[in-house]
Amino acid sequence: MESKPRKITEAQKRAHQNYMEKFVEVKVRMTPERRAEIQAHAKEMGESATAFINRAIDEAMERDQAEGKKHPPQ
């Protein structure tokens, strides 16, 4: 059974646009195999790949701070 495409209202489009304005996109280059590995791991953890990547970044930053590491001056 085929499902019909969901119609999106103008209000939904505006709400989505307002939501997305709060974020920026960051591109990361990796092999397709690495991407699949990350996606599979995130799924096993019950989270999206984006949520997993953000969690990994947060944990690395917390660990670095706890170890007294400082970022180099820019």
pLDDT digits (tens, 9 = 90+) for 2-60: 778 889 999 999 999 999 999 999 999 999 999 999 999 999 999 999 999 999 999 99
Report the C-alpha dihedral over residues 15, 16, 18, 23, rounded to 10 degrees. Answer: 150
Residue 44 CA to residue 47 CA, distance in Å, equals 8
55 with 47: CB under 8 angstroms?
yes
SS3 66: helix
41 within 8 A of 52, measured Cβ to Cβ: yes
Give the pLDDT score at 69.
85
